[in-house]
Amino acid sequence: MRYRSKRAKLIEKMLEGFRLRRARAGERIASIRVLSAELGVTPVTTIRMLDEMVTTGVLHKEPNRGYYLARSFQAEPRIGCCGAATVLDGKPSQELTNEALKALLEHFRASGCEPVLLDYNELTSGMAEEKLAKLDGLLLKDGCLDAKTIPILQKFAGRIVLFNSNTICTHLLCSQVMTDFRGTIAEFISRCDIRQYERVLVISPANSNGLAISQIFEDQFSAAGLDNVDYLTLDTSKETAELVAYKYFTEHKQIDWTRRLVIVLSGNYVTGIVSALPLNGGCPDVLCFDNQEKHHLFNGLSKPYFTAVDRNMPLVFTHALDLLLELVRDSSRENRCMFVPASLVIRKSVRHWR
Amino acid sequence: MRYRSKRAKLIEKMLEGFRLRRARAGERIASIRVLSAELGVTPVTTIRMLDEMVTTGVLHKEPNRGYYLARSFQAEPRIGCCGAATVLDGKPSQELTNEALKALLEHFRASGCEPVLLDYNELTSGMAEEKLAKLDGLLLKDGCLDAKTIPILQKFAGRIVLFNSNTICTHLLCSQVMTDFRGTIAEFISRCDIRQYERVLVISPANSNGLAISQIFEDQFSAAGLDNVDYLTLDTSKETAELVAYKYFTEHKQIDWTRRLVIVLSGNYVTGIVSALPLNGGCPDVLCFDNQEKHHLFNGLSKPYFTAVDRNMPLVFTHALDLLLELVRDSSRENRCMFVPASLVIRKSVRHWR
C-alpha cells in the first residue's frame, strides 16, 4: 500500500503539471531516465507509474519510442472571489446582497469552478500578492476596491471583473458588470405624472454608486424640463441609512410629505422614513431602490408596499462570473462593461400614474 | 416597355413588403383576386408578376394551390450616423477625427449597409423625429449629445451606440464604445521614472472626456504614491487648444520646463507649447494624447517626436458600427460598453525610462 500511495502522489504531480501548462495530446513524455532523475525515484517506479497512466488512458505507449499524451489537458481556471465573505454575516440590511452572493456561489458550482474565497482583510495582508499570483482571474465586489487594496490589485496579472459598481473603474484595467438604471428611470419618469407633486426629493448616500444613480435622475429630470426636484445627499458612513433617514424626517416633520414624492437610492432609508412619519396619512409617495419588500424588511408594517427599482443583483453577480470565465479562457478578449437592466416594480404607493 | 416597367415597380413594392416584415420561406401569398385588388391591377398583370417572381426564384408555384415564398427575407437594418458630417470640414486639428470617420464610412460599405447621415443641425430641426422614426439604429458621436438633442434622442425607439465619449451616458439607454486609457496610463506610470522629474503637469481640457482621462491619471498617480503632480484644466471653449496652451506657456516662461514632464490630454495643445517655448533646450518632456505626429501636425518642427497615447480612434468608430449592427439584428442583446485599448507610442522625447 505504501508504494501504491507514493505512485498515486507522483501521478497527481504529473497530472497537475499537464494541467498547468495545458499540455496537448500527442506530446512526448520525457525519457524514463530523465523522468526518474526529476522525480527522484528508481526507473522501475517510473515505468510502473507511466504504465498505470497508460491503463487510465492518460498516456499511450509506442513500443521502442516512448510514452505520449493520449489527451489534452485544460487547466480549470483558478478564480478568486473577493467580497463574498460578507455572506456569512447575516445582517438584515445585507439580505439582498447575501441572496445575490448565494446565487453567485451556486453559479460557481454550476460552472464546475471552485472559487478561491478572499475576504477584504486577506487582500490587504502581506500574503495577498502570493495568493493572487496563483489565480487566473479575480471577481471583485465594489466594496473591496479602496486605497489599501488598489496598489495590490494593480500588480495582479490575471483578468479582473469588478461588479456592483456604477462608475467606470479608473484605477485598474478591468471589466465590469453593473446595473443599468437608465431605462428604468426613463420608464418611471414617463409613466409617473411627476408634475402632480408639490416637490420631489431624491435622497442618495454619499458614495460613488449613490451619486452615479442620482446623476441619472438629475440628467433625465432636467432633460424632461422638470424643476420641482431637490437632491439631498445623506452621509451614511457613521450611522446606518435607517437612522440617518429617521433623523432627517423627524427634523422635517412640519413638511406636508403627503403631497411629495421621495426617491431613496438605498432601500435601507425606507424603514427610517416610515418610523419617523405616521405611515397612515403622513408618508410621502416613495420610489424605493432595492426591492427589499420580499426580503422581510417591511414585516410588521401595515403598508409594506413601495414602488421599487429592482436592481436584479443576483444577475449582476452571476453575469460577472460568466464574463470573467470568458476573459480567462480567451485572453484575446478585450475588457468590457456589461449592463444588467434594472426593472420597475410598480405598487400602490405611488399615486400619480399616467 | 411600359408594362415591363410597371411590373418591375410592382415587384419591387412586394419585395420591400417582404423585407419589412421579414417574411419567411414557405409563407403563402395572397390569392390572385385579393392581390389584384390590393395592387389595383388586373388579375392578368398579377399572374404575370407572380410568374416572373417564380422565374427569379422568389416564389414557387404549387399547381391548384397557389404561390409560396421560396426564400426568407431579412430587412437590411436602417442605420443613422450622426456626427460624421464634420468629415467634410477639413480642419487640420480635426485630421484624426476625419481619418476615423472615413474608416467608419468605409466600414459601412464593407458591412453592406448604407448609412443615413444626419448632421447635428438636422437632429435639432423639426424634422428630426420623423427622420429618426425610419431608423432601426443610431450611431452617435459624443459631440452630438447635448441639451438640445437629448429630449429628441430620448424618444428614439431604436438602438443607440454612443461612441468616443469616455463617461457612461446617463441620459439615454444606449451602448457605448470608448477608448480604454487605463492600461496605457498604467504602462506609462510603470515604465517612466516619474520621480526623476521636478514636477509633472497634467493639462486637460474642461470637457467631460478630458476630465475623465485626467481622473485616471489622478487615481493611478495617487495609488503609486506620487506627489509631484499638478493638475490644470484649461478652458478651450472660446479659443483653440493651441492658442490656450501658447498663452499659458508664454506666461510661465520663467519655469525651467526642461526638468518637468507635461502630459497634455489633447494633441492640439502641443503645437501651442512648442510655439511658446524654445524647442531646442527649452521644452519639457511631453506625453501627448492623440498620436498626431503621423498626421503632419508637426511639419516644419525640428523635433516632431513626442511620446504619445494613440487612442486608436478608427477602431472605436468601426467597433461602434459592429456593435450597433449586432444590437439591431438581435433585439434581445443587452446594452454594453466596449473598451478599445489605447496604445503607448514611445519616442525619444521622454527621457526617464526605467
Condensed to tens digits (0 to 9), the pLDDT of residues B102-161 reads 899 999 988 888 899 988 888 888 888 888 998 999 999 998 999 999 999 999 999 999
Pair (B256, B207) in one structural domain: yes
Residues of A with CB under 8 A from a CB of B: 147, 150-151, 154, 167-174, 180, 182-183, 186, 212, 215-216, 219-220, 223-225, 334-341
Predicted pLDDT at A348: 76
Cβ pair A154:B186 closer than 8 A: yes
| β-sheet bridge partners, residue B307 | B287
Pair (B236, B264) in one structural domain: yes
Question: Could you tell me if residue B351 is inside a domain?
Answer: no
Q: B183: which chain A residues are within 8 Å (Cβ-Cβ)?
A: 173
Pair (A24, A100) in one structural domain: no
Pair (A189, A302) in one structural domain: yes
Pair (B293, B219) in one structural domain: yes
How many degrees, rounded to 5, is the angle at CA A68 between CA A66 and CA A72?
170
Q: Is the predicted pLDDT of residue B295 greater than 50, yes or no?
A: no
In a 13 Å sphere around the CA of B338, the CA atoms on its Cβ side amount to 22
Cβ pair A182:B173 closer than 8 A: yes
Question: Could you tell me if residue B233 is inside a domain?
Answer: yes
Residues of B with CB under 8 A from a CB of A: 147, 150-151, 154, 167-174, 180, 182-183, 186, 212, 215-216, 219-220, 223-225, 334-341
- Cell numbers given for A166: 456604477
Question: What is the predicted ipTM?
Answer: 0.77
Pair (B209, B296) in one structural domain: yes
Predicted pLDDT at B9: 82
Predicted pLDDT at B106: 92
Question: Minimal Cα distance from B332: which residue of A?
Answer: A341
Where does a domain end: A17, A45, A69? A69
Question: Could you tell me if residue A218 is inside a domain?
Answer: yes
In a 13 Å sphere around the CA of A132, the CA atoms on its Cβ side amount to 25
Pair (B304, B322) in one structural domain: no
Question: Could you tell me if residue B263 is inside a domain?
Answer: yes
Domain assignment of residue A64, given as a range: 2-69
| β-sheet bridge partners, residue A181 | none
C-alpha to C-alpha distance for A8 and A132, rounded to whole angstroms: 29
Mean pLDDT along residues B36-50? 90
| β-sheet bridge partners, residue A116 | A80
Where does a domain end: A69, A96, A121? A69
Pair (B93, B62) in one structural domain: no
For residue B65, give the CATH number of its domain. 1.10.10.10
Predicted pLDDT at A36: 92
Cβ pair A173:B182 closer than 8 A: yes
Cβ pair A220:B170 closer than 8 A: yes
Closest CA–CA distance from residue A337 to any residue of chain B (Å): 5
Where does a domain end: A50, A69, A88? A69
Question: Could you tell me if residue B145 is inside a domain?
Answer: yes
B45-86 pLDDT, tens digit each: 999 899 988 988 889 998 888 999 988 776 678 899 998 765
Q: B171: which chain A residues are within 8 Å (Cβ-Cβ)?
A: 182, 219-220, 223
Question: Could you tell me if residue B349 is inside a domain?
Answer: no
Neighbours of B215 (CB within 10 A): 18
Pair (B187, B297) in one structural domain: yes
Closest CA–CA distance from residue B103 to any residue of chain A (Å): 21
Question: Could you tell me if residue A246 is inside a domain?
Answer: yes
Q: B212: which chain A residues are within 8 Å (Cβ-Cβ)?
A: 168, 170
Predicted pLDDT at B303: 54
Cβ pair A219:B151 closer than 8 A: no
User: Of B289, B49, B102, B284, which is closest to residue B181 (Cα–Cα)?
Assistant: B289
Pair (B217, B319) in one structural domain: no
| A vs B: CB pairs below 8 A | 85
Predicted pLDDT at A299: 47
In a 13 Å sphere around the CA of A349, the CA atoms on its Cβ side amount to 26
Predicted pLDDT at B330: 87
Q: Is the predicted pLDDT of residue B244 greater than 90, yes or no?
A: yes
Cβ pair B339:A340 closer than 8 A: no
Q: Which of A151, A219, A334 minimises the CB distance to B341? A: A334
Pair (A187, A305) in one structural domain: yes
Q: What is the mean pLDDT of each run of 10 residues along chain A (354 residues)?
A: 66 81 85 90 91 87 89 81 70 76 91 87 87 93 91 93 95 96 95 95 92 95 94 91 93 93 87 80 85 55 70 94 94 93 87 87
What's the number of domains chain B is made of? 3
Q: Is the predicted pLDDT of residue B37 greater than 80, yes or no?
A: yes
Question: Minimal Cα distance from A224: which residue of B?
Answer: B151
| β-sheet bridge partners, residue A230 | A201
Pair (B238, B256) in one structural domain: yes
For residue A285, give the CATH number of its domain. 3.40.50.2300
Q: Please report where in the chains the cell 495582479 appears, as a residue.
A: A156
Question: Could you tell me if residue A354 is inside a domain?
Answer: no
Closest CA–CA distance from residue A173 to any residue of chain B (Å): 5
Q: Please report where in the chains the cell 468590457 appears, as a residue.
A: A336
When pLDDT is cut at 50, 70 and 90, the band that residue B349 belongs to is confident
Predicted pLDDT at B92: 59
* From A330-334, B90-94, B223-227, B343-347, the region with the lowest mean pLDDT: B90-94
Cβ pair B172:A182 closer than 8 A: yes
